[in-house]
Amino acid sequence: MFNAFKTFSVLSPLAFIAFLSTSFLLKNSIKQTDTNKVKPNIIIVLTDDQGWADVGFNGGSDIPTHNLDRIAKEGVVFSNGYVSHPYCSPSRAGLLTGRYQARFGHDCNMPYHGENDETIGTPLSEKMISEALKEQGYITSAIGKWHVGDHPKLHPTEQGFDYWFGFPGGGMNYWGIPDGPLKTIYKNGVEVSQEELSYLTDDFTNEAITFINENKNKPFFMYLAYNAPHAPDHATKQYLDNTKHIEYAGRSIYGAMVNGVDVGLGKIDSTLTALSIKDNTIIVFLSDNGGRVEHADNRPNRGHKGMLFEGGIKVPFCMSWPAGLSGEQTYAHPVSSLDLFPTLLNIAGGDAKLEKQLDGIDLMPYLENKVDGKPHELLFWRSSGGFEYAIRKGGFKLYKSAYKNKTLLFDLENDPLERHDIASFNSDIVQSLEAEYTKWNSKNIAPRWFDPHEKNVIKEETKFKNKRANSLSPKLKKG
């Protein structure tokens, strides 16, 4: 420092001023670079119809998920992690916007038949997390299943994503064989040739790794939405070999599909490590809803995808960030997929308080023990405009169930498995929770379209009751 100032003394006044200006610019350039390095990379990994117990970190033991379990151990597991809807498209709309999707009438999957126009899906007026992170200097990508807008005007590249590799619709075969515009793999709107595809889970993983390698020197956000383990049940020999110990064919194939995701995440994690960016990369993992009816394992929770029992809305959910979040944590208070938008935006340097539309809560102050209490005292769910709905307030949960054709009340603190309906002798609590729902729902709009959920619920419950009845003794049936 002494030698530097000694040098300054022999400079002319103009040269000295020029030197200071250059030093100031260099200092600020370094500061900006450091800021970019501090901004963490963000990866949201979403699976499709995966059950609660289909991961080791929730106690599953038959499907190998070693990589997922390691990532979960490096961060926090949300043991009461919910999504905002019990099935696919609406749940994704909630996650991406940080809002209850009923606010903008996205209660249902898009109609299955015919071509949907740009009025069907999450509208462009809704700000997605991708758009908010772009404002913070992030490069953004969507890889995998989209399913929040079929029309090209609602595709990811119109919703704040710089890059998109995937298919628009709700599901497709895993070999990438095109079957109409919703079941075709596109790269930024251009159809991908069959020669470039192998097995979609692997293809999505490979695209993710390519994106990471190409953007390793800048903050990036990746929404990696695998369609596994959604039907159809397709797997490679490698993943089938990894689940050959499961002696039930359907479960074995399903498990292989989950294992394919796990292997892919292991490759992604290794890539982050090799590039020396793992420590400052946030990885969030969750399923879009509870496990599907067949082959998934939602135990010990009651119900499955489509239901508002815990098995339909409570999902495997974890978050790791070695540089910013202590590992080996389990967070027991209820959290929601809606919380990801404000949490990640604030971490990225934004201010979620300025996003007045958000229904989610920044979780970091709670995870860092900077504030007391719970992120949520109230959580809500609505299907098909209130055909079914649920409210969780504290330890109580009210469920207006179309499956059971009654309104149920559970004390989740003492009955987390929802075995005992206590509605009949707690009418005051029922009325109070129904009033909370009415107040919340007054800020929503009617569904802007419908799907077959209502018919499917009635059909499924009828089948359920008939099968149980047919198991009884003929004597009992006559009685």
Catalytic residue among 85, 106, 147, 155: 147
- Active-site residue 245, yes or no? no
Which pair of structure tokens corresponds to residue 52? 């609660």
Catalytic residue among 85, 88, 108, 230: 88
- Active-site residue 113, yes or no? no
Residues labelled as active-site residues: 88, 147
